[in-house]
């Protein structure tokens, strides 16, 4: 399969309404590996596996003052050790099942508390603001971390263009809901589609990146193609993948992990070595590719940029 250059892509079709119909049932049972395997038809797996993904280059990228100069996690690790439950629950499943997901045409609906709702084709999003390279640490709640050269632009550029109303206090992100393309959605692990959310000031923070690529190329499907969020001071699950909708809300939106396990996964989910997950410590982490664990930093090392957002808040309560 060949991914065309962003400039070759024709205007997108409107995403079907079914994508936005949120299921009401919340099934809290996590199922075993047998059910997962059964949801991914083996024949299609082989047929749809691209032999060699040749990702489109994203052209000249400006560097960012927010980039870390730590050693980058190799491309092979970034694209083969993933969390993307819609493509399987094993770390190597998303790369193996990536061929199910079709990322063209693709649209993102921006609606809710905005002056005028709008649907962006992915090719429009790619041109909405200058693309930057942002080398960020990203730490999973499971106590591993990576350093990834993401490509994108601050989400604030999109928000400003959309002119949210005075009632917009939060932003909700919704992943594509299509069990054909995301077969993990045939299993009620989470209340699909995956949703996440940020407070408006978090969404406007210059670190919050609307992400379209990594390592100078368009995002591989397993990393959340064609567009995802990256919020580097929060646990990885806040960084929703394969987004089809961005909605401004007055009230704090329900988020998938918080709904399924509120004691373990809070709405804020700021990386915090002093607040343990109920089942394990968050004080240390393993950088993928390294043997020894390292200390986890407050706000994942981005305290200078974001600590002020939480001034006066009890971070044990608002975890």
Ligand X SMILES: Nc1nc2c(c(=O)[nH]1)N[C@H]1C(S)=C(S)[C@@H](COP(=O)(O)O)O[C@H]1N2
Which spans of this chain sit near Mo ion (rule: CB under 5 A)?
Answer: 83, 140-141, 236-237
CA distance to 159, 251, 284, 312, 318, per residue, from 271 (Å): 24, 23, 11, 17, 12
Nearest CB to ligand X, comparing residues 164 and 236:
236
Residue 112 region, left (φ>0) first, then alpha (ψ -120 to 50), else beta?
left
259-279 burial, b at 16+ Cβ within 10 Å, e below that, comes to ebeeeebbbbbbbbbebeeee
Q: Could you tell which of ligand X, Mo ion, none binds residue 86, using a CB distance below 5 to 8 A set by kind?
A: ligand X
In angstroms, the CA 18 to CA 25 distance is 16
In angstroms, the CA 1 to CA 53 distance is 7
Nearest CB to Mo ion, comparing residues 87 and 114:
87
Nearest CB to ligand X, comparing residues 95 and 113:
95
Nearest CB to ligand X, comparing residues 37 and 313:
37
Nearest CB to Mo ion, comparing residues 237 and 310:
237
Q: Could you tell which of Mo ion, ligand X, none binds residue 239, using a CB distance below 5 to 8 A set by kind?
A: ligand X
What is the smallest separation between the CB atom of 224 and ligand X, expressed in angstroms?
A: 6
Q: Taking a C-beta distance cutoff of 8 angstroms, is the pair 156, 203 a contact?
A: yes
What is the smallest separation between the CB atom of 170 and Mo ion, expressed in angstroms?
A: 21
What is the smallest separation between the CB atom of 241 and ligand X, expressed in angstroms?
A: 4
Q: Could you tell which of Mo ion, ligand X, none binds residue 82, using a CB distance below 5 to 8 A set by kind?
A: ligand X
What is the smallest separation between the CB atom of 149 and ligand X, expressed in angstroms?
A: 12
What is the smallest separation between the CB atom of 171 and ligand X, expressed in angstroms?
A: 15
Where do the H-state alpha helices sit in the chain?
A: 33-39, 42-48, 75-78, 93-96, 122-126, 155-162, 200-204, 256-260, 303-306
Nearest CB to Mo ion, comparing residues 221 and 256:
256
In angstroms, the CA 145 to CA 163 distance is 35
Q: Could you tell which of ligand X, Mo ion, none binds residue 168, using a CB distance below 5 to 8 A set by kind?
A: none
Residue with tokens 């002056």: 115
Q: Could you tell which of ligand X, Mo ion, none binds residue 120, using a CB distance below 5 to 8 A set by kind?
A: none
Q: Could you tell which of Mo ion, ligand X, none binds residue 176, using a CB distance below 5 to 8 A set by kind?
A: none
What is the smallest separation between the CB atom of 286 and Mo ion, expressed in angstroms?
A: 13
Nearest CB to ligand X, comparing residues 12 and 239:
239
Q: Which residues bind ligand X (CB under 6 A)?
A: 82-86, 140, 175, 194, 223-224, 236-237, 239-242
Q: Taking a C-beta distance cutoff of 8 angstroms, is the pair 179, 154 a contact?
A: no
What is the smallest separation between the CB atom of 87 and ligand X, expressed in angstroms?
A: 8
Count, residues in the chain: 319
């Amino acid at each position: 399969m060949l991914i065309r250059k962003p400039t070759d892509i024709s205007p997108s079709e409107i995403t079907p309404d079914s994508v936005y119909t949120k299921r009401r049932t919340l099934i809290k049972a996590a199922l075993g590996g047998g059910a997962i395997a059964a949801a991914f038809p083996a024949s299609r797996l082989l047929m749809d596996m691209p032999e060699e993904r040749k990702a489109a280059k994203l052209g000249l990228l400006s560097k960012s003052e927010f980039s870390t100069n730590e050693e980058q996690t190799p491309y092979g690790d970034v694209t083969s050790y993933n969390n993307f439950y819609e493509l399987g629950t094993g770390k190597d499943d998303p790369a193996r099942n990536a061929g199910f997901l079709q990322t063209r045409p693709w649209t993102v609906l921006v609606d809710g508390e905005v002056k005028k709702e709008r649907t962006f084709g992915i090719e429009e999003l790619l041109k909405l603001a200058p693309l930057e390279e942002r080398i960020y640490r990203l730490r999973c709640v499971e106590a591993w971390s990576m350093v990834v050269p993401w490509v994108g632009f601050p989400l604030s550029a999109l928000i400003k263009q959309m002119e949210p109303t005075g009632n917009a206090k939060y932003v909700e992100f919704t992943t594509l809901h299509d069990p054909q393309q995301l077969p993990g959605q045939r299993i009620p692990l989470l209340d699909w589609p995956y949703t996440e959310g940020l407070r408006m000031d978090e969404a406007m923070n210059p670190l919050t990146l609307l992400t379209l690529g990594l390592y100078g190329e368009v995002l591989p499907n397993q990393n959340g193609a064609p567009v995802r969020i990256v919020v580097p001071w929060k646990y990885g699950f806040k960084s929703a993948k394969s987004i089809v909708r961005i909605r401004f809300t007055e009230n704090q939106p329900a988020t998938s992990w918080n709904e399924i396990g509120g004691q373990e996964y809070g709405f804020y989910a700021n990386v915090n070595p002093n607040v343990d997950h109920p089942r394990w410590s968050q004080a240390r982490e393993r950088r993928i590719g390294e043997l020894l664990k390292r200390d986890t930093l407050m706000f994942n090392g981005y305290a200078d940029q974001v600590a002020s957002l939480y001034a006066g808040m009890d971070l044990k309560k608002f975890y």
